[in-house]
Amino acid sequence: MLVENKNFSFLKEIRGNEKPLIFILGPCVIESESHTLKMAESLKKLSEKLNFKLIFKSSFDKANRTSLSGFRGVGLATGKKILSKVKNELDLPIITDVHESSQVEEISSFADILQIPAFLCRQTDLLLAVGKSGKIVHLKKGQFVTCGAIEKAAKKIESTGNKNIWLCERGYAFGYGDLIVDFRNFTTMKSFGRPVTFDATHSVQKPSGLGDASGGDRSFVADLAISAVSAGIAGIFMEVHDNPEKALCDGPNSIRLSQLEDLIKYLMELDAFVKSKKRPEIY
């Protein structure tokens, strides 16, 4: 059983959107132990260089692939081993997807944050199970629900006594093979009194855009992330890969590791400016 690391105490301090921006970063899916550790080490070094709070993300299973031929991941047993190694050897908090209620107990033994995938955001039994874990829950707003609906989903989790819920915006799907971000959602979700994050890379996905897999356009990630940070949110979620063209999942919308530093610097500076100023009120 893993012991909670005192260096992760900053997670419990995130109760709203006032703290300096946190970053949830990592490859979409665990491709191998060596690649995952390589990516985690690179991101850890960057977080130390720029002095930002890093949460490492990667999935052991991508259960909603467009096609059966799509790479799903290494599975829970192997994923647990690899992510535990990242956590223990690199001293990084871990976030990973939970797809089924039966997985919650095992994933809770090594993950610091349990993530509800967007497609599962209304699954009551799953929401209650992650709530009972006592872990922080990163609840992704589905591409098909309103802010009001995602607040109702959050209240399902909260009914278990767990108030550690982060809400994540990741765009709407309108049936045109693309996602659109409604930036009014940040204001609305912040009004619920919960930390709000923005998934800047999934928001540029083109669902099923490659026929048997999702496409995307990473060239829009920076503009979307900048706009989200200007709204004064808690965190930015981005999938990062050292070679997106060869990524086994979500390569087209993943940020290149080599281009990440400049973007994070910009976002950190913008976040500090935004949170140092009193926002004008318009009514």
Asked whether residue 281 is assigned to any structural domain, the reply reads no
In this prediction, residue 250 carries a pLDDT of 86
Asked whether residue 111 is assigned to any structural domain, the reply reads yes
Yes or no: say if 234 and 21 are a contact pair by the CB < 8 Å rule: yes
**For position 275, what pLDDT does the model report?**
97
What is the pLDDT at residue 175? 62
Please report whether residue 1 resides in a domain.
Answer: no
For the chain, the distance separating the N- and C-terminal CA atoms, rounded to the nearest angstrom, is 52
Asked if residue 4 belongs to a domain, the reply is: no
Amino acid identity for residue 279 in this structure:
R
User: Which domain covers residue 78, as residue numbers?
Assistant: 17-275
CA 190 to chain centre: 17
Give yes or no for residue 195 having a pLDDT over 80.
yes
According to the model, what pLDDT value does residue 66 have? 65
In this predicted model, what pLDDT tens digit does every residue of 20-77 receive, in sequence order?
Answer: 999 999 999 999 999 999 999 999 999 999 999 999 999 999 877 666 767 788 999 9
Instruction: Give the list of residues 6+ apart from residue 213 with CB closer than 8 angstroms, or none.
Output: 65, 66, 67, 70
Average pLDDT across the chain, whole number? 92
% residues pLDDT > 90 (the chain):
81
pLDDT, tens digit, for every residue of 125-143?
A: 999 999 999 999 999 999 9
Residue 82 lies in a domain: yes
Work out the percent of the chain whose per-residue pLDDT is above 70: 92
- Tell me what the mean pLDDT of segment 150-171 comes to: 97
The structural domain count of the chain equals: 1
What is the CATH classification number for the domain harbouring 57?
3.20.20.70
- Model confidence pLDDT, tens digit, residues 198-239: 999 999 987 654 545 456 789 999 999 999 999 999 999 999
- Cα separation, 32 vs 253, whole angstroms: 20
Which 3-state string (H, E, C) describes 167-224?
Answer: EEECCEECCCCCEECCCHHHHHHHCCCCCEEEECCHHHEECCCCCCCCEECHHHHHHH
Cβ-based burial of 34 (10 A; exposed 0-12, middle 13-18, buried ≥19): exposed
* Mean pLDDT of the 257-280 span: 97
Give the pLDDT confidence score for residue 96 in this predicted structure: 98
7 part of a folded domain: no
pLDDT at 2 over 50: no
Query: Domain for residue 28, yes or no?
Result: yes
Task: Please choose, from the candidates 267, 280, 243, the residue with its C-alpha nearest in 3D space to the C-alpha of residue 50.
Answer: 267
Name which of 28-42, 170-184, 185-199 the model is least confident about: 170-184
Does residue 138 sit within a domain?
yes
The residue-averaged pLDDT of 163-184 equals 89
